[in-house]
Structure 1
Amino acid sequence: MKTALSQVAERLHKRRFAVTNNTEGLSGAGTIFYYEVDGSTVSSTYQGGRIRIGNQVGRVTGPDTFELLFQCLTLEGELLAGWSRGTVGVDHVGRTTLTFVWGWLSGATGGGESSYVELTA
């Protein structure tokens, strides 16, 4: 029997994701996210597109949900931070998908929704 933590870990741990939709945010084409899961702890690094470097830290909150705090440095030298709540899914070909509701905490205002898909070899 799978636990809530193992379901999120199974779909995120050591996997890479690309942005499919993020009209209100900075990450976009060329931004790649790399996730790791250790127990109930979720972390990631990301870069590409307008993002020079970024990282996230958070926790599993349910069978297919997690929450994160994120920070990044842009190519323009902006230092930004925010929060997000994510949901793990699976698309029609079996790739992991992520959908987020997010908002800025520092460096910008507003927020939005974004979607990501797993990059496969």
Structure 2
Amino acid sequence: METPFSQISERLNNRRFTVAGNPHGLSDADTIFQYHVEEGAISGTYQGGRVRSGNLIGRVTGPATIELLYHCSTLTGELLAGWSRGTVGVDDAGSTTLTFVWGWLSGATGDGESCYVELVG
């Protein structure tokens, strides 16, 4: 039986992503995100570029939508935390894509939009 989070679990669980566009954010093309999904609960890690170490938690909110809370330490010693709401999609090549609106909660100010693409191989 397919549940509201089945498609997202299939598209995110144990998959890695990199930045395709994040003009106002901290992560860049050298930052790698690894996601895990279990029964609608999302967890993950990220690092690379200016990010020394980061973690995220979240939940599936619809057939193609998620929301996340994240925090990280940077190479310069900053501690940052934020929120995001995202859409899970598929590009023309069949790779999973993520598109987010996001904002900082602690350690920085501002908000933005970003997009990510699955690392295949």
**TM above 0.5:** yes
Deviations 1:75-117 (A, max 9, x none): 0000000000010000001000000000000000111000000
- Paired residue secondary structure (2:5): helix
Give the Cα–Cα distance (whole angstroms) in 1 for the partners of residues 39 and 7 of structure 2: 11
Structure 2 unaligned regions, length at least 5: none
Looking at structure 2, the residues matched to 120 and 23 of structure 1 have their Cα atoms a distance apart, in angstroms, of 23
Number of residue-to-residue matches in the alignment:
121
Q: Which residue of 2 aligns with 1:94?
A: 94
Residue of structure 1 equivalent to 2:61: 61
Query: Quick one: distance in 2 between partners of 1:112 and 1:30?
Result: 19
Q: CA deviation digits over 1:28-57, x for unaligned, max 9?
A: 020000000010100110000000000100
- Equivalent residue letter for 1:91: D
SS of 1:4's partner is coil
Matched letter for residue 102 of structure 1: W
Q: Which residue of 2 aligns with 1:3?
A: 3
Q: Which runs of 5+ in 1 are unaligned?
A: none
Identity %: 68
Q: Give the Cα–Cα distance (whole angstroms) in 2 for the partners of residues 2 and 96 of structure 1.
A: 19
Q: CA offset at residue 4 of structure 1?
A: 1.4
Structure 1 residue ranges, 4+ long, deviating more than 4 angstroms after superposition? none
CA distance in structure 1 between the partners assigned to 2:53 and 2:117 by the alignment? 20
Q: 2:71 maps to which residue? A: 71
Counterpart Cα distance in 2 of 1:119 and 1:67: 21
Q: Distance in 2 between matches of 1:82 and 1:3?
A: 28
Other structure's SS at 2:89 match: strand
SS at 1:26 equivalent: coil
Question: How many Å separate the matches in 1 of 2:41 and 2:21?
Answer: 25
C-alpha displacement of 1:2: 2.8
| Residue identity matched to 1:3 | T
Q: Report deviation, 1:24.
A: 0.5
The one-letter code of the counterpart of 1:77 is: G
- TM-score under structure 1 length normalisation: 0.98
